[in-house]
Structure 1
Amino acid sequence: MLAIRIFLFVMVCASSLVLITNLYALRKAKRLESSGMRVEGECVDHYWPSGGYVGVVCAYSAGDRADLSVRSSRYSVAPVEIGDVVDVIYDPQNPERSMLSFEVGKRVGFDTGLSVVVGTLAVAAVAGILLTL
């Protein structure tokens, strides 16, 4: 019984950590989607994170800053090619905080779905702990 309680406690801690991190990312993406400024950027490079994935680096200008860049998430195939024009959404109060516009919508949907699943796991683990007392 003690092993089950320990496992459930670890599940509560792990799922809570994932949920908090995910809700932060969701809040950031929703804030950018609703109040961010849209500008055109250009894909200037590809990068290869581990696991055989590829991402893109896009440069953009925000106000008087012309040297800003944003990295995409990782994909199995590059979402844009070098030289392609892309829309970038950035936070007007902090122009370094930005996302590629085609990722914002996907990010909001993914984060919402993941929050529901992980939240359900956390509630189920808490219920399991209460039932084993």
Structure 2
Amino acid sequence: MLAVRIFLVVMVCATSLVLVTNLYALRKARRLESTGARVEGECVNHYWPSGGYVGAICTYSAGGREDLSVRSSRYSVAPVEIGDLVEVTYDRKNPERSMLSFEVGNRVGYDTALTVVMGTLWAGAVVGIFLTW
């Protein structure tokens, strides 16, 4: 019984960490989606994170500043090719905070789904702790 309680406590801690991190990302993506400025950018390079994935590095201009850059998420196939024009959404208050526009909507949906799953696991672990007490 002690092993079950320890497992459930670990589950509560782990899902809490994922939930807090995910809720921060969800809030950021929703803010960008609703209040962000959209500008045209250009894919200037690709990067290869571990695991055989590829991402795009795009530059954009925001509010008269020098060119800023944004990295896409990682994909199994490059989301855009070098030289392609892309729409970038950035935070008006802090233009360095940005995402590729096609990823903003996907991010909100993904983060919402992950929040629901982690919230359910968290609630189940909490109920399990109380039932095994």
So what's the TM-score if we normalise by structure 2? 0.99
For residue 88 of structure 1, report the CA deviation from its aligned partner.
0.2
Write out the 4+ residue segments of structure 1 that deviate beyond 6 Å after TM superposition: none
For structure 1, the residue ranges without an aligned partner over 5 or more in a row are none
Count of aligned positions: 133
Query: Secondary structure, in 3 states, of the residue corresponding to 1:66?
Result: coil
For residue 64 of structure 1, report the CA deviation from its aligned partner.
1.5
For 1:36, the equivalent position in structure 2 comes to 36
So what's the TM-score if we normalise by structure 1? 0.99
Matched-pair identity in %: 78
For residue 66 of structure 1, report the CA deviation from its aligned partner.
2.4
For structure 2, the residue ranges without an aligned partner over 5 or more in a row are none
Counterpart-to-counterpart distance in 2, 1:61 and 1:110: 28
1:66 corresponds to 2:66: yes
Superposed counterparts of 1:38-117, under 5 Å:
38-117=38-117
The Cα RMSD (Å) is: 0.4
Counterpart-to-counterpart distance in 1, 2:42 and 2:100: 11
Counterpart-to-counterpart distance in 2, 1:66 and 1:76: 31
Counterpart-to-counterpart distance in 1, 2:16 and 2:63: 38
Moved more, 64-73 or 30-39: 64-73
> How far does the alpha carbon of each residue in 1:31-54 deviate from its partner, in whole angstroms, 9 at most, with x for none?
000000000000000000000000
